[in-house]
Amino acid sequence: MVKVSPSILSADFCRLGTEVDDIRNAGADYVHVDVMDGIFVPNISIGLPVIESLRKATDMFLDVHLMIDRPHRYAERFCKAGADLITIHVEADQPQDIFSCIETVKAQGKKIGISVKPQTPASVLLPYLEQLDLVLVMTVEPGFGGQKFMYDMLPKIEELRQLINQHAPACELEVDGGVYANTARLCKQAGADVLVAGSAVFKVPDREEAIRMIRDA
């Protein structure tokens, strides 16, 4: 069954603890936390102190998506702040720093993922794939919630499904951006294991129904 990871980017930050309890009760599998630095993406969101607070407030799996430049500089601190999974962007660091970042996160006993932006081909992940716990395919340009799903990313999801099956069968395949019930169905058919959904979950009153519609799509 596909996992659902609601993105708190669309939550009410004044009531973050309640929002996270709400999605827990509504059946969410992970909590997706979007960290943006205003450099790698043209937006600024939240960082280490919020992850520390979330860690104290919930036992849910914290799926931390780092949209920051040269993430190897901060990976260890995000692990220590309480992330369960750190996903970095392949476009954001040099290969040698990506390899060292993978080592750092694993040494902290945490999971490591790598994400690809829409214009980045699947093949760039090949050197890292066997060491990864998760691959994240962006189906919008990273930086903002509420954008339209890019249907032309579906072949890349299929391609990564094949590559993961061949090289790293335990690795999860996550999709992020514009996921609603209709697009969730296409992502599942293309081979996704985890679906991130911000607006679809947090911008509706009935989160349980929203999560169910994505999972059962």
Active site residues: 34, 176
State in angstroms the smallest separation of the CB of 168 from ligand DX5.
22
Site residues for ligand DX5, window 134-173 (CB under 6 A)?
A: 140, 142-147
> Of ligand DX5, Zn ion, none, which one does residue 179 interact with (CB within 5 to 8 Å by kind)?
ligand DX5
State in angstroms the smallest separation of the CB of 141 from ligand DX5.
7
> Of Zn ion, ligand DX5, none, which one does residue 178 interact with (CB within 5 to 8 Å by kind)?
ligand DX5
Q: What are the start-end ranges of the H helices in 26-113? A: 48-57, 75-81, 95-107
**Residue 133 is a binding residue for ligand DX5 (CB under 6 A):** no
Residue with tokens 């395919």: 137
**Contacts for 35 with CB less than 8 Å, ≥ 6 apart:** 45, 46, 47, 51, 64, 65, 66, 67, 68, 78
**Residue 51 is a binding residue for ligand DX5 (CB under 6 A):** no
Site residues for ligand DX5, window 31-50 (CB under 6 A)?
A: 32, 34
6, β-bridge pairs:
197
Nearer to ligand DX5, 101 or 194 (CB): 194
> Of ligand DX5, Zn ion, none, which one does residue 197 interact with (CB within 5 to 8 Å by kind)?
ligand DX5
**Residue 82 is a binding residue for ligand DX5 (CB under 6 A):** no
Q: Which candidate, 214, 194, 207, places its Cα nearest to that of 21?
A: 207
Residue with tokens 């799509």: 217
Give the type of residue at 77. R
Would you put residue 93 in left (φ > 0), alpha (ψ -120 to 50) or beta?
beta
Question: Interacting stretch for ligand DX5, rule CB under 6 A, among 4-12, 81-89, 123-131, 158-166?
Answer: 4-12
**Residue 153 and residue 117 in contact, taking contact as beta carbons nearer than 8 Å:** no
State in angstroms the smallest separation of the CB of 140 from ligand DX5.
6
Distance CA(81)–CA(12), nearest Å, equals 21
State in angstroms the smallest separation of the CB of 197 from ligand DX5.
5
Distance CA(77)–CA(47), nearest Å, equals 10
